[in-house]
Chain A
Amino acid sequence: MEESSLYSIAGHTLCVVGTPEVTGLKTLPGFPVFRTEEGTAEWTVRFGCDVAEPEGGTVLSTFDFEGGVIHSRFVRKDDEYYYVMEPADVSVPTMVLHYAGGDHVEATRAANPTMLRFSLWMSVGMMGMASGMLLIHSSTIVHRNRAVLFLGESGTGKSTHTRLWLKNIPDAHLLNDDSPILAIEEGKPVVYGSPWSGKTHCYHPYRFPLAAAVRLSQAPHNRIRRLNILEAVAALQPSCPPALAQDSHFADGIMDILSDTIAQIPVFHLECLPDADAAHTSHDAIFGGMEN
C-alpha cells in the first residue's frame, strides 16, 4: 500500500500518493509549509503508475529546464495529455505524467527531487485550470495586504525589482519569486503563494487580493504606463505556462482567467533601471492614489 499525504494549494486539497514521493516531499523545500492533515482530496497525483507516452500523439510543445538537465515535451492524444520528462543523463529514468481531464493525474516514479517538484507543478497547472486557477511566472510583492505581480521574461530583472521594493518601500513583502497562483474567486482576482518559487526559498501559504500586474523591461530610465486591454492581454499571456497556452483546451481556461483579471485590475508596463527610483515609480503608479 502506497503512502499518501495532503497539501493545501491555492485553497484546494492536493493528495499525493506514492511512498517514495511522500517521503521526498517531507524535506523538499517549499512543500512542508503547505502540508495539511485535514480536508478531503480534491486533486490526486498518483506516482508509481504504469503510464507511457502513446504512439501518434501531437507534440504541443517541447522545452528544457534546469539549464538543459531535463528535456520535456507536452503531448496530446485525443483528449488526453502526456507530459514527458527526459533527463539529459540517460542513467536517470524518463518520467511520464498522464492527465485525462478531471481531478487526477497518474505518473511514473519521480526519479529525483527536480522531477518530483516539476511533476507536481505541471499536475496542479493542469488540474487547477478547471477550478479557475493559473500558475503564473512572476515575482510577487505584497503591499498593504494586496498583491502585485511583476512579470517579464527570465533575466528581465523581476527579482531584482522586487528586491528593490523590499529595500525601499515600507510594508513590502515577497510572496513568491517564480510561480504564484492567480485565481478568480467570487469573480475577483486573488494571488496565492505556492511551493514553487524558483531559486528563492520564499514559500507562503497565504492569499491576497490582486492590486495590479506590471510587465518589466530594462531601460536607461524609469517610466511606467498603464496598458489598454489589448496590451494587457499581450503583457500577461506570455507569463502563463507555455505548454498549456499552446493547447486550445487549456488556452480557453487561461484566457477566461486573464479576462476576469484584466477587466478588474490595472496592468502596467514599467521600463526601468535596477535602482530605488524604479521601485518608487511602480509603487506610486499602483498605490499612489490610495495614500492618505
Chain B
Amino acid sequence: MKINPNYKVRNVAGENIVLLQGKMGGDMTRVVAFNETALFLWNELFGKDFTTADATRLLTEHYEVDEATAAADAERWVADLREGMLLLPEE
C-alpha cells in the first residue's frame, strides 16, 4: 500500500493534522489529527510502498514495545488511514 501523496501533514496551532476537503465552498472539511507515533509512521512510510509488517518493524525498532503491541498499533494505524481515505486505492 501507499500513502496518497496529495495529502500533507501540517502543524496547525500545535496539532499535526491532515485536511480532507469536501466539495467547493461546502462545510465538509474534515480534519485528521496525528499523535507522535502516527506521525512517525507517516513520515517514515510516505512515498514508499509498504506493508503492515513494515509499520510494525518501524515501531519495534523505534519504540520500546513488544511485537504483539506494535503489530496491533500498526494495524490500527493502517485501518485509520484507510478509513480516512489517506491511502492510494490498491489495484
Task: Write the residues of chain A forming the contact surface with B, with a CB cutoff of 8 angstroms.
Answer: 61, 63, 137, 152-154, 229-234, 237-238, 242, 245-246, 248, 251-252, 255, 258-260, 262-263
Contact = CB atoms under 8 A, between A and B. Distances in A.
Which of B8, B17, B22, B29 lies at the interface centre, i.e. has the most chain A CB atoms within 10 A of its CB?
Answer: B29
B19 interface: yes
Interface string B19-49: 1011011111111010000000000000000
A232 B19 CA distance: 12
B47 to A, nearest CB: 15
B29 A263 contact: no
Given A234-B29, A238-B26, A238-B27, A245 B12 contact: no
Nearest to B25: A242
Contacts of A259: 10-13
Contact of A245 (B11, B13, B21, B28): B21
A229 B28 contact: no
B19 A63 contact: no
Contact of B24 (A61, A231, A233): A61
A234 B30 contact: yes
A242 B23 CA distance: 9
Contact of B25 (A154, A258, A263): A154
Interface residues of B, number: 21
A229 B19 CA distance: 13
Contacts of B28: 238
Contacts, number: 60
A7 B11 CA distance: 35
B25 A262 contact: no
B27 A229 contact: no
Given A237-B21, A263-B13, 9 more contacts: A63-B24, A152-B27, A229-B15, A233-B17, A238-B29, A242-B24, A242-B25, A258-B12, A260-B13
A229 B10 CA distance: 13
Contacts of A242: 24-25
A256 B86 CA distance: 22
Given A153-B26, A238-B26, A229 B13 contact: yes
Contacts of B13: 229, 232-233, 259-260, 262-263
A237 B10 contact: no
Nearest to A237: B29
Which of B10, B13, B19, B30 lies at the interface centre, i.e. has the most chain A CB atoms within 10 A of its CB?
Answer: B13
B30 to A, nearest CB: 7
Which of B6, B15, B27, B28 lies at the interface centre, i.e. has the most chain A CB atoms within 10 A of its CB?
Answer: B27
A242 B21 CA distance: 10
Contacts of B26: 153, 238
Contact of A234 (B10, B24, B31): B31
Contact of A263 (B10, B14, B33): B14
List the 8 closest pairs (A to B, CB-CB), nearest first.
A263-B13, A259-B12, A262-B13, A242-B24, A237-B29, A230-B31, A234-B29, A229-B13
Contact of A229 (B12, B24, B29): B12
B19 A233 contact: yes
A248 B8 contact: yes
Which of B6, B11, B12 lies at the interface centre, i.e. has the most chain A CB atoms within 10 A of its CB?
Answer: B12
B13 to A, nearest CB: 4
